[in-house]
Structure formats: C-alpha cells, structure tokens
C-alpha cells in the first residue's frame, strides 16, 4: 500500500502579498482580482502524489494584518514547515521578510526551548507584475544568509510555479526526516 504522510504548513507574510491567492490557486485552481483580507486564519488541504507517496498538506493561511497576529501565533508553534511570502512589486514586503522570519523562529521552539530547524520556502508572488521592486538576487542573498534553500518567484494569477514550488517543499520535508 502507498504510504501517506501528513504535514502542517503555515503561510506568513505582509497583508496583500497574495497568500490566500496562492493557496486558492493550489487547491481550487482559481484566482480572483478582488481583495478580501483573511481574518484570523484559514485552513485548506492539498494532497500531493509523488513517487508512490501520498502526502497530505494542511495549509494554514494566516492574516497579514497586524490586528489579527495574536490569533495566528498559536498555529506557528505546531508547524512542520513555513512558506514566507513577499510581493515582487512591493519592496517593503521583502524587507518585512526579516520580521516574519524572526517571528517564526521565535515561535518554533522545541519543548526544551531549543530552536527547531524547519524547512522554509520563500515565495516572491506576482511575478506577472511589470513593476518589479524587488531584485531576485537580493532575495537569493538574503536566503543564503539564512541558509534557506528554497526560493521561487510565482504568480497566483497565472498559475506560474505554484504547484512546482510546493511540491519541492514537500520533497524537502520528506528528505529531511
Ligand atoms: P491578507 O489576507 O490580508 O494577509 O492578504 P493576502 O496575502 O492573503 O493577499 P490576497 O491573496 O488576498 O491578495 C491580495 C491582492 O493581490 C488581491 O487583489 C489579489 O487579486 C492580488 N494578487 C494575488 N496574487 C496575485 C498575482 O500573482 N498577480 C497579481 N497581479 N495580483 C495578485
Ligand atoms: Mg489572505
């Protein structure tokens, strides 16, 4: 029988970078131009089939808006991996990755207080935008400093690299076990 694995993955990043849109593209293959901010956190499931392994991903879509942060912190603690999202057309959203990274690091600790070393995927969304404000090499450098191996530019709008990047993360989690 095929093996089934289950992982909990949390998405964080500034408001409006497209976390919900990425998940809706991944799970429902749909996209909406309309912006509806996430309140608190939402949860979606996605099953990935790969090399005779069935992987069930529990994807936690958090709210970027500050007023909801206290509601989402609890989810960070039990995550198996994190997806940090910025918007390639918004420089501030890349600068704030440092904040999201630190938040995540401070929350993902073992019971004895030591830091967990969890897989991280960095996604630069809205790669379809003509008005680029974040250089790919700057993000690569930032990832290198943090020893983050996975970085993709994606577009939820045009379904570019979404499934590929999440499949890579799944592979990476599985390999690390
Ligand atoms: P919060 O829930 O407030 O944290 O925001 P979010 O990160 O979930 O952003 P959301 O997915 O709601 O998207 C915000 C806006 O960006 C919406 O108007 C989307 O249509 C738009 N958007 C999302 N992804 C893309 C993309 O790949 N390209 C373009 N051009 N627009 C996008
Ligand atoms: Mg959202």
Q: Is the pLDDT reported for residue 2 higher than 80?
A: no
CA 24/CA 21 separation, integer angstroms: 5
- Measured from the alpha carbon of residue 24, the closest ligand is 1
Query: Could you tell me the two tokens for 166?
Result: 């999440």
pLDDT at 78: 84
**What ipTM was predicted for this assembly?**
0.99
117: closest CA among 149, 81, 151?
A: 81
Q: Is the pLDDT reported for residue 1 higher than 70?
A: no
Torsion of CA 152, 18, 64, 172, to 10 degrees: -30
Distances from the Cα of 64 to the Cαs of 12, 47, 130, in angstroms? Answer: 7, 25, 24
Alpha carbon of 16 to ligand 1 centroid (Å)? 5
**pLDDT, mean of residues 104-112:** 82
pLDDT at 144: 98
Q: Is the pLDDT reported for residue 119 higher than 60?
A: yes
Residues 6 or more apart whose Cβ sits within 8 Å of residue 61: 11, 19, 20, 23, 38, 41, 42, 43, 44
Q: What is the overall mean pLDDT for the chain?
A: 92
8 Å CB contact between 150 and 172: yes
Higher pLDDT, 170 or 51: 170
Residue matched to tokens 């690569």: 140
Residues with C-beta less than 6 Å from any ligand 1 atom? 15-21, 32-33, 35, 37-38, 63-65, 125-126, 128-129, 155-157
Residue 119 backbone phi and psi in degrees, to 5? -60, 140
How confident is the model over 41-87, as pLDDT tens digits? 889 999 998 878 899 999 999 998 888 877 777 777 789 999 999 99
How confident is the model over 23-42, as pLDDT tens digits? 999 999 999 999 999 988 88
Alpha carbon of 114 to ligand 1 centroid (Å)? 35
CA 159/CA 112 separation, integer angstroms: 41
């Amino acid at each position: 029988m095929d093996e089934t694995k289950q992982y909990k993955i949390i998405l964080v990043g500034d408001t409006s970078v497209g976390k919900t849109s990425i998940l809706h593209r991944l799970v429902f293959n749909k996209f909406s131009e309309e912006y509806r901010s996430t309140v608190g956190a939402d949860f979606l499931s996605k099953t990935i089939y790969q090399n005779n392994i069935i992987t069930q991903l529990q994807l936690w879509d958090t709210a970027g808006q500050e007023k909801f942060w206290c509601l989402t912190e609890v989810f960070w603690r039990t995550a198996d991996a994190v997806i940090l999202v910025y918007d390639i057309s918004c420089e501030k959203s890349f600068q704030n990755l440092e904040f999201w990274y630190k938040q995540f690091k401070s929350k993902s600790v073992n019971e004895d207080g030591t830091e967990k070393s969890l897989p991280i995927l960095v996604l630069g969304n809205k790669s379809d935008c003509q008005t680029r404000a974040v250089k790919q090499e700057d993000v690569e450098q930032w990832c290198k400093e943090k020893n983050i191996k996975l970085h993709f530019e994606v577009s939820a709008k045009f379904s570019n690299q979404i499934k590929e990047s999440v499949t890579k993360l799944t592979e990476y989690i599985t390999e690390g076990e």
